[in-house]
Amino acid sequence: MPERQSIRCLLLDNNEQALNCLEQQLHAQGVFQTRLCQSPDDALQTLAAGDHFDIVFTKLHMPQFDGIEMIRHLNQQPQPSAVVLTDCRDNKLLGSVDLLAREKGMQLLGALDRRPNKQTLANMLDNYDPNYRRHCQPPRLALSPSMLRSAIFQRQIEAFFQPQICVNSGRLVGAEALAYWRHPGKGIISADHFIPLAEQCGLIPELTRLVFQFCCRQLQTWLKQGINISLSINLSPLNLDCLNLPETLCEITQRYNLKPEQIIIELTESRVLQDLPTSLDILSRLRLRGFQLSLDDYGTGHSSLEKLRQIPFTELKIDKGFIRAASRQQDSLRILESIVELSKKLELKCVAEGIETPQDWELVQGLRCDTAQGYYIAKPLSNLKFESWAKHYRRGLLSSRAKPRLQPVR
């Protein structure tokens, strides 16, 4: 976090009194590098001259030019500024502008009243992240199909596991498997970097088999050690083109003396069912053989209710975006409440992901979600670290009659 004295701010407002008031508030917070602009033209000329500002305070409503247009112009700068809106009282509109800024890789610090609260302004300054875009959009790695093909052959692809906790009892009940590439030169590479490559070059069947075998072998080991959990495994929608998928997965589970009921197949809502007849054939036969089906990132797709009617899902996973927004947006909280209520009426297990703070944990407890996962509980762990974590957590649970008080992961 930069020192406040070094933060440069541009203030845009067609009201001179409001500009002066905001400048005084910033001076009181130790921010003295400010530029005041009473017109959008003045602000745009300042930016065009090459001046860079860390934070731009702008009105949303201005004659012939609005704050959304200003965000568009700021996004075209070599290093986009963070943004604070100074006149937005509509929470729905603020939520839309927040999403717009994040989609552009820009940081929206929030909205201020005409006479801003000192603590609110201080929090915004403290939350300013000069590396926000880099954190949101990590650089793409130079990976080739031949590198990935070799990695699969050499079994460099493995799974990390994120614990899933029963919200009511506090017991460890499951884990989500997340694919990682342990590259000898580039280190640990997350699935976001190589799954699209595997989809493009036709390596999804081989990759799926490798990860599924790794997970089943690991689950077998844990069950023998008394770590009695289910395991959630993500499948690319391209697997839903393969009619013999149920037989392939059954053969692997039998090899490791597992029951299909111990495996949850996760499918991302926004990408499932592009070929409805084939997908229904495969997914129905997976359920027939005992596998559980989870609809991941629920609430982010386009025909959620129709998919729930068409496919024999057993679980809904609430997208972490709703958890993150519920504490500050009433609409997001209401949507979250509706999803939990819907899952109970449809007799589906409800899993909340993205639990990152004590407030998130208290929220899902109050809503009576079934299961929760996220960094507040534990980050994704390698197989050995997960094993150690699970045993330590279980000992802590058994040694206390009360529900365990979860601690955030540092």
For residue 290, what pLDDT is reported? 96
Whether 351 and 224 share a structural domain: yes
What does the mean pLDDT of the chain come to?
87
Whether 235 and 110 share a structural domain: no
Flag whether 408 is in a domain. Answer: no
Flag whether 362 is in a domain. Answer: yes
Nearest alpha-carbon partner for 329 in 124, 91, 83: 91
For the cut 90, the answer to whether the pLDDT of residue 223 exceeds it is yes
* Interval 9-26 mean pLDDT: 91
Flag whether 303 is in a domain. Answer: yes
Flag whether 406 is in a domain. Answer: no
* Interval 166-184 mean pLDDT: 95
For residue 340, what pLDDT is reported? 93
Whether 247 and 385 share a structural domain: yes
C-alpha 297, offset from chain centre: 9
Whether 73 and 97 share a structural domain: yes
Q: Which residues are paired to 293 by β-bridges?
A: 265
Whether 282 and 392 share a structural domain: yes
CB 54 within 8 A of CB 8: yes
Flag whether 330 is in a domain. Answer: yes
* Interval 146-152 mean pLDDT: 95
Q: What are phi and psi of 98, to 5 degrees?
A: -60, -45
Segment 255-282, tens digit of pLDDT: 999 999 999 999 875 555 566 788 889 9
**Two tokens, residue 47:** 């930016």
> Where a domain ends, among 112, 136, 160?
136
Q: Is residue 136 very low, low, confident or very high in pLDDT (cuts 50, 70, 90)?
A: low
DSSP per-residue letters across 156-225: -EEEEEEEEEETTT--EEEEEEEEEEEETTTEEEEHHHHHHHHHHTT-HHHHHHHHHHHHHHHHHHHHHT
For residue 307, what pLDDT is reported? 75
Segment 237-249, tens digit of pLDDT: 889 888 999 999 9
For residue 402, what pLDDT is reported? 42
Whether 17 and 43 share a structural domain: yes
Flag whether 32 is in a domain. Answer: yes
For the cut 60, the answer to whether the pLDDT of residue 403 exceeds it is no
Whether 170 and 271 share a structural domain: yes
Q: What are phi and psi of 50, to 5 degrees?
A: 100, 0
Sheet containing 33-37, strands listed edge to edge, beginning at the edge strand earlier in sequence: 33-37, 8-12, 55-58, 82-85, 108-111
Nearest alpha-carbon partner for 349 in 377, 330, 373, 333: 373
> Where a domain ends, among 110, 136, 162?
136
Dihedral sign for Cα atoms in the order 109, 110, 112, 117 = negative
Please state the pTM of the whole predicted model. 0.76
Q: Is residue 408 very low, low, confident or very high in pLDDT (cuts 50, 70, 90)?
A: very low
How far apart (Å, rounded) are the C-alpha atoms in residues 345 and 70? 45
Whether 229 and 249 share a structural domain: yes
For residue 110, what pLDDT is reported? 84
Residues whose CB falls within 8 Å of the CB of residue 409, separated by 6 or more in sequence, listed in order? 375, 376, 377, 378, 379
Whether 280 and 252 share a structural domain: yes
Domain CATH code at residue 190 = 3.20.20.450
Highest mean pLDDT (candidates 13-22, 326-335, 382-391): 382-391
Flag whether 405 is in a domain. Answer: no
For residue 304, what pLDDT is reported? 60
Flag whether 339 is in a domain. Answer: yes
For the cut 70, the answer to whether the pLDDT of residue 116 exceeds it is no
* The total number of structural domains that make up the chain: 2
Q: What are phi and psi of 352, to 5 degrees?
A: -100, 125
Whether 159 and 111 share a structural domain: no
Segment 272-308, tens digit of pLDDT: 556 678 888 999 999 999 999 999 888 665 556 777 8
Q: Is residue 338 very low, low, confident or very high in pLDDT (cuts 50, 70, 90)?
A: very high
Determine which helix (DSSP H) or strand (DSSP E) holds 408, and give its type and residue range: none
**Two tokens, residue 310:** 């068409």
Domain CATH code at residue 18 = 3.40.50.2300
Ranges 7-21, 95-109, 396-410: which has the least confidence: 396-410
- Domain membership of residue 262 as a residue range: 145-398
Q: Is residue 138 very low, low, confident or very high in pLDDT (cuts 50, 70, 90)?
A: low
Segment 36-68, tens digit of pLDDT: 999 888 999 999 888 889 999 998 888 778 888
Q: Which residues of 121-143 are buried (b: 16+ CB within 10 A; e: fewer)?
A: bbebbeebeeebeeeeeeeeeeb
How far apart (Å, rounded) are the C-alpha atoms in residues 112 and 120? 8
**Two tokens, residue 69:** 């247009």
Whether 122 and 97 share a structural domain: yes
- 154 secondary structure, DSSP code: T
- As to burial, measured by CB atoms within 10 angstroms (0-12 exposed, 13-18 middle, 19+ buried), residue 350 is buried
For the cut 80, the answer to whether the pLDDT of residue 7 exceeds it is yes
* Interval 207-224 mean pLDDT: 97
Whether 269 and 300 share a structural domain: yes
> Where a domain ends, among 81, 104, 136?
136
For the cut 50, the answer to whether the pLDDT of residue 409 exceeds it is no
